[in-house]
Amino acid sequence: MKYQFSPSLMCMDLTKFNEQISILNSRADMYHVDIMDGHFVKNITLSPFFISQLRMMTNLPIDAHLMVEKPEDFIDMTAEAGADYISVHAETINRNAFRLIRKIKDYGAKVGIVLNPATPLDWISPYVHLIDKLTIMTVDPGFAGQPFIAEMTEKIRDAKKIRETNHYTYVIEVDGSCNEKTFRTLAEAGNDIFIIGNSGLFDLDENTEIAWDKMKNIFQQQTNTADIGHPE
């Protein structure tokens, strides 16, 4: 599997929405859309409506990251807006995880599970075999620009070991501080998908095309690999 890159669109310049999406459509592997309710995290960002507008402009997979207290209130509208992945936090679904996983699958979407830094992997052991993507937060959720939590490197290694030992098929994704300082560490630990935000992409240059090329060059230099890029 090639390393994949998922731009975090809460970090993009929304005044240049059309321009930036047009550039990213030929480069990114998927899009990461954060939906926050102001309760699970003290911030409010994008929405199912944003997904519906993005859906009209791209054929790439859209990953809806539900940082909300009650994901059951968002699954219907997020799926109907066009999300391909619906990623929910283990901290919010463990009281009814199987029902919500089934609901996501019934929409034809893929199931993502997200773990906060302090949440152990064994929280999801009853249903890990059902998921398509495991997202490991390497910062506390809710705000961009936080420092990398180094202890999460071992959690990534453990997630990879669990997958290999049990022949599971989920991909491993990291959300938080994916950039020049962490690319090598995360790749060596076993990460598959890098969510890139301000420090990893958008702050590298005002021109998104140039910023992407810089990100790609940095990643290749840090990891000594050419095995990245658009799925085409």
Which residues are catalytically annotated? 34, 175
Q: Is 200 within any annotated ligand binding site?
A: no
Q: Is 145 within any annotated ligand binding site?
A: yes
Q: Is 82 within any annotated ligand binding site?
A: no
Q: Give the C-alpha separation, 84 to 6, whole Å.
A: 13
Q: Is 74 within any annotated ligand binding site?
A: no
Q: Is 26 within any annotated ligand binding site?
A: no
Q: Give the C-alpha separation, 210 to 194, whole Å.
A: 18
Q: How many helices (H) and strands (E) does the chain have?
A: 8, 8
Q: Is 143 within any annotated ligand binding site?
A: yes
Q: Is 144 within any annotated ligand binding site?
A: yes
Q: Binding-site residues, please?
A: 32, 34, 65, 142-145, 175-177
Q: Binding-site residues for a divalent metal cation, please?
A: 32, 34, 65, 175
Q: Binding-site residues for substrate, please?
A: 65, 142-145, 175-177
